[in-house]
Copies of this chain bind each other. A is one copy, B any other.
């Protein structure tokens, strides 16, 4: 920048002013500066810029699990778009599986002076962020130990929607598969129970299945087991996109066709032999809202107490969720 100043025959401060909008600089001078900038191919050093006290860099951090999960990928994409529109870059923290990994990643990001953090939290305490002086928005699930903004979907409503739909079909033995210890899991189960209460149906607790892991394999195994019982369910509610996949795999192998409803839509759901009914929400909006909120917090424009944004869920009927109880036990002809 000093080169630009010399070349334009002006002071350093003037160049800075021009670069930052050019207010309070005579037009003629500004022209000269801009010319010099072009000639030298000058680009402002964002790093030095963020060194100023108080000033944070123009980057947001996004901390999430597996980008390979379309759910997370959608969030990333959407927040990236919103951030980009405001000239913010998004730094992705690498998050390993281990519980400490997330904390390490977050601290790394904080030390990079990001202007704000979007976190899809794993279990674990996040109170260490309280004194960091960085705005935080949690996505998809709240975290313990920190009262921050949170953007999520209506998990309980979605769970209720799925179960109610199956109950309305006449199902009374509805298995629910739950990924371990996610916050969302509890809420979806709650909705499932509520739907049962609303029609005076009792929940067979042996059909509430807590999986040891949140992947398709665990769901596949559990589905196999529950379907081979003497009293199998006539319907299955898979509380996660990956779980749904596992359920479908097991059912295909077994040649059974209970009703199936999944939570979260997924690519090709409509192309499977029996198109899959799901409870879906606007995941991209999750990411967009989070980024918008964070941007407002970072700029100081938003000083309200921590917000809680809840996005609605909707049922998408495609076929698998509309099977009736009597058809469920039938062994598919091959």
Contact = CB atoms under 8 A, between A and B. Distances in A.
Interface of A: 41, 43-48, 50-51, 57, 59, 66-68, 70, 73-74, 76-77, 80-81, 83-85, 87, 89-94, 96, 105, 107-113, 131, 245, 248-249, 252, 266-268, 271-273
Contacts of A87: 108
A271 B251 CA distance: 11
Contacts of A272: 268, 271-273
B59 A80 contact: no
Contact of A70 (B68, B109, B112): B68
14 contacts: A46-B113, A47-B112, A51-B51, A59-B91, A67-B76, A68-B70, A73-B73, A80-B94, A81-B94, A89-B91, A89-B112, A90-B92, A245-B271, A268-B268
Contacts of A41: 131
A92 B64 CA distance: 14
A85 B252 CA distance: 39
A55 to B, nearest CB: 10
A125 to B, nearest CB: 16
Given A91-B89, A113-B45, A74 B68 contact: yes
A46 B56 CA distance: 12
Contacts of A94: 80-81, 83-85, 89-90
Nearest to A83: B94
B93 A91 contact: no
A132 B91 CA distance: 21
Most buried by B among A73, A93, A94: A94
Contacts of A84: 93-94, 96, 105
A116 to B, nearest CB: 15
A42 to B, nearest CB: 10
Number of copies: 2
A67 B77 contact: yes
A215 to B, nearest CB: 13
A112 B93 CA distance: 17
A80 B66 CA distance: 10
A66 B271 CA distance: 22
Contacts of A245: 267-268, 271
B108 A89 contact: yes
Contacts of A267: 245, 266-268
Contact of A92 (B43, B44, B76, B111): B76
Contacts of A83: 94
Contact of A111 (B44, B85, B111): B44
A15 to B, nearest CB: 15
A111 B46 contact: yes
A43 B271 contact: no
A87 B104 CA distance: 10
Contacts of A271: 245, 248-249, 252, 272-273
B73 A68 contact: yes
Contacts of A59: 91, 112
A51 B48 CA distance: 6
* Shortest Cβ-Cβ A-B pairs, 6 listed: A84-B94, A67-B77, A73-B73, A47-B113, A46-B112, A80-B94
